[in-house]
Each structure stands twice: as C-alpha cells, then as structure tokens.
Chain A
Amino acid sequence: MAQSIRDQVAIVGIGQTAFGKGLADSELSLACQAISTALDDAAIAPGEVDGLASYTMELNREVDVARNVGLGDLTFFSQVGYGGGAGCGTVLQAAMAIATGQCHVAVAWRARKRAAKTSRPWAQVPARLADHWQWSRPFGLLRPVDEVAMLARRYLYEYGGSRDQLANVALAFRKHANRNPAATMYDKPLSREEYLNARWISEPLCLFDNCLETDGALAIVLAPAERAVDLPHRPVLVHAAAQGLPRQHQTMINYFNDDPLEGPSWAAARQLWRGAEFGPAEVKVAQIYDAFSPLVPLSLEGYGFCGRGEGGAFTEGGALEWPDGRLPTNTSGGGMSEAYVHGFNLVLEGVRQMRGTSTSQVDGADTCLVTSGEGVPTSALLLRN
C-alpha cells in the first residue's frame, strides 16, 4: 500500500492580513496579501509554488490568485467543501499532493469579507427550497447558530451540562485574545457576569457563544520536510491529518440519524489517531473550531480528550486556559475572540505554537491538535515540531 503522509511535509510559512470589519481591500487583494506574506515568511519565491488548496466557499479562484501573486505552473489545485469543516482538509490535501509528488510547494489559504451582510449564507435563501434546508428553514431554523443551538439544548439536557460550561469556553478564548494584539477582541475583556447577562441569539445560546464576523485572510506555505530544515523557521511537521464525514450525517442539521450528538469529529478522530504516533494524552495544546461554543465540548469528546458527555465538565477549572490548564485551547483567541475566517486562523496559531512564537506560548509544546468544524463534514491536523 501507499505511504503515509506522516511527518513528510512541513508548514514553512504563514501570513495573514489585519482582521476587521469593512476592510477597504477586496477579497482578492486580501488573499494575495496573506499568501505573499506567507511566501516571504518561508523565504520561497512565488514562482516555486505549484500547488494550491482552499475551500469550495472561497470566492477567489486559483487563476486570479496565481495571476496576482505570480505563482508558477500549477500542477495541483483542490477545494474542500462544507465551510468551516474544510480548513484542515485543505492542509491535508496539499500535504498529500506534496508527499506523492503531485506538487512541490503548496499554498493553502482562506480569504473572506464576512462582515459584509451579503456574505452570510443564511441571508441568501432562495424563494423555494428543494434541498435539505426544506426540512428546517420553513420553521424558522434559519442560521447556523439556530442549528447548533438545537444540538446544544439536547446536549445540555442529556448530560446535565450548564451555561457556565459554555461560558468557560468563551472566557478562556477571550483571555487568550486579550494577550494577542492581532485579535479583534485584544482590548475587550469579558466577564462571566457579562456572558450570563448577554442578549440571546438563539436560546440556549447567547451573543458570546457565537464567533465573530471578520474580514481577513490567512495563508500557509507547505514544502517537503527535508527542504524545511534549510528554511528560516523551525519546521512544523504535518504529523497526521484526516477528514471525517460519518455515515448518515447531514450537514448542520444533523438531527436525522440514530445519534446526532456523535458528530463528524468522531469519524475524523479515528482516522487521525490511526495515523499518529501519539494519542490525545500527548497533545500539549489544541486549536478547536469554535464558530459556536458548544462545538468545543463536542470536539473534546470526539477527539478523545474525554468520554461522551464529559466535554462540558472538561472545561471546568480553567482546563482550556493558558498557561496552566490541562489543555490550553485556542491560544490566539479562536473564532470567538481572535477572528472568524472559517477556522483557518486556528491552523496558523497551531504553527506559531510549534514555532514557539504564540502570544500565549505553551511551555515545551511539541504537539498540537487543530480541528475544523464539528457539526459539518470536517477535518483535523496533528502538528509537531
């Protein structure tokens, strides 16, 4: 059988734009700026790039990105579906392409002007629904937050969880953002009282259970591990990676199977750990997709940091907080407090932790889990240095 991708490919460059609302630059310009910065960070010339990977929801086409940044002849370009589930999958596909010789230097990126109201997919519903949304939207279950809140209510009911546990998630990530000057919420502390008194968005979820609305772009550069040793930064190896689309899953409205609370994370996790030389207990720091706070306890369970129903309790005692928590998580602030760029900022923070350059650097961190969206067909990465 074919080789494994384990440790064969490294992330050698990272780049990002400023994060904000209503940024003046176009989405294409933002993408090109992030990619250009990442190439400079890697000390690799644009003409060497022969592979690209991004999201199906990415609006910038490969042809336009390549014509602006001055990329070389592309021999691999792929897109991964399902919105926030795609992030780690783009890295996986780029790494597979390099490991199998389909390309030699790859860029993965995501650029988005999310804060534009028209970019919200739920605001663009057609007149009549012929797809799976006909089973939820006519009843006023319209937005991702409503769809996740439905699972969250059931989760809290089945396992006796509390809003305090969801607050643990929001507050931990905010504390990390308060240490990260690039984060949208850098100078905005959040108290438990503010969380508990915040306005509802979709009960049982309040404003602070939601990710930010962000304009911005991020990119990474991947190259063979043996080349990475000659490049400026400490190589960050893609140790293992996986996608996960479990049987009988329905994206976002996963109510129509035997066990809706066992989501895509479980399927991705089985493949991820099969490809790894270590397990959850050896993970020093995690970047967990957090479009909505309940996705974090669900993902903690799915990736095996605790058992079914224990994800809420796992968050207690500052477990997710730098520096002393048992699993410092979303150390740049995540989607809830740094920026929401479909989870791609989590990949870059994973790289910074492995380089030792995070603003909330975990001492001796040599392994990092990065995940993409729970509740949609997903993906995950294990990084090591």
Chain B
Amino acid sequence: METGFVLPDLEAEDTAEFWAACQRGELVVQECAGCGRWRFPPRPMCPHCRSLEVRWVATSGRATVWSFVVPHPPLLPAYGELAPYNVVVVALDEDATIRMVGNLVATPEGPINEVDPTTIEIGEPVRVVFASVEDVMLPRWMRAPKG
C-alpha cells in the first residue's frame, strides 16, 4: 500500500468525472458533443468547435508504450523509497494522439518498481488496470498480448 503519493483533487469541476470513472474501473475521455472529437486531459471547452458539451466515453483501455523514464533519487520520499521505478506515457489504441502518463506494473495492485525497466520497449501493447492509493484509483498499465 503506497502512502505519501501526490494525488489528484477528486472534486475539481473539470476533471472529477475522470477520477470518478476510475473508481468504477473505467478509463474515460471526453468526447465533444459538438464535433465528436475525443480529448484528454479533460478541459471545459473543445478547441475545435468551442462546445462546452461533452460525453464521457469509456475507452478500450488498450494502448501502446509511447515513451518511458526510470527516475532515481533525489525524489519525494514516498517515491524515493520505490526508486528506481518506471513512468510510462502510453498512446491509446483508438487514437494514438490521446496519451496518458502512468506506470507499468506486473499485477493490478503491484508496485511501480516491479517490472524490470530494461525490458520495457516503446511500442509494446498494454492494457489499463486500476490501483487504489488512499481514496484514489490510479490508472496503471499491464503488458497485454499483441493484437
């Protein structure tokens, strides 16, 4: 159980729905009700058509690794204890320009330093999992079979 992590505000107007969906085990993005485009991170206005209306749509939760880093100390204590760990940016299968920051883990509730970082490859397929940290469900990523 991780403690001392930096965590999101679950009640901020523009982003609460994303974190609420994580609690339900859903990875959602905003779909503009005006023009249908997806966007992430969440924001109130569509930069394409300026609509304020959105639908929150569940994604497949499938993605590929776009890039990754392996932080080493000095770090905030809660993270320093786990270092070296990985941080990945993944690109969603449905739209490769929708990217999210996360961690590659070996099991859904496993620590962020369990996967050998020398084995991580850009382009490898992953699927979303959710890990509880305090009152937040953080989306993380596990390796998925290709295709």
Contacts and interface: CB of A to CB of B under 8 A. Distances in A.
B138 interface: yes
A274 B72 CA distance: 42
A118 to B, nearest CB: 14
Nearest to A122: B76
Interface of B: 5-10, 12, 15, 40-41, 47, 66-72, 75-76, 79, 82, 84-85, 87, 89, 97-103, 112, 117, 122, 133, 136, 138, 140
A202 B72 contact: yes
B86 to A, nearest CB: 8
B43 to A, nearest CB: 9
Nearest to B121: A157
Given A139-B140, A255-B89, A256-B98, 9 more contacts: A125-B6, A138-B138, A140-B85, A141-B87, A150-B69, A150-B101, A202-B69, A203-B71, A203-B117
A142 B122 contact: no
A153 B6 contact: no
B101 A253 contact: yes
Contacts, number: 112
Contact of B101 (A135, A143, A202): A135
A146 B6 contact: no
Interface of A: 123, 125, 127-130, 132-143, 146, 149-151, 153-154, 157, 199-205, 248, 253, 255-258
A215 to B, nearest CB: 18
B71 A143 contact: yes
A138 B75 contact: no
24 contacts: A127-B7, A129-B7, A129-B9, A132-B41, A133-B6, A134-B8, A135-B41, A138-B5, A139-B138, A140-B79, A140-B82, A141-B71, A142-B75, A142-B76, A146-B87, A154-B66, A154-B122, A157-B122, A200-B84, A202-B69, A203-B71, A203-B117, A248-B47, A255-B99
A127 B9 CA distance: 9
Nearest to A207: B72
Nearest to B47: A248
Q: A134, A201, A202, A255 — which one has the most chain B CB atoms within 10 A of its CB?
A: A134
Nearest to B122: A157
Contacts of A132: 41
Contacts of A154: 66-67, 89, 122
A183 to B, nearest CB: 24
B7 A128 contact: yes
B42 to A, nearest CB: 9
Contacts of B71: 140-143, 146, 201-203
A129 B75 CA distance: 18
Contacts of A149: 69
A135 B87 CA distance: 12
Nearest to B89: A255
Contacts of A255: 66-67, 89, 99, 101
Contacts of B117: 203
A166 to B, nearest CB: 14
Contacts of B102: 139
B74 to A, nearest CB: 8
A138 B6 contact: yes
A137 B69 CA distance: 13
B7 A138 contact: yes
B8 A202 contact: no
Nearest to B139: A139
Contacts of A135: 41, 100-101
B80 to A, nearest CB: 10
A196 to B, nearest CB: 16
A256 B82 CA distance: 27
Nearest to B76: A142
A288 B99 CA distance: 29
A202 B70 contact: yes
Nearest to B78: A140
B69 A142 contact: no
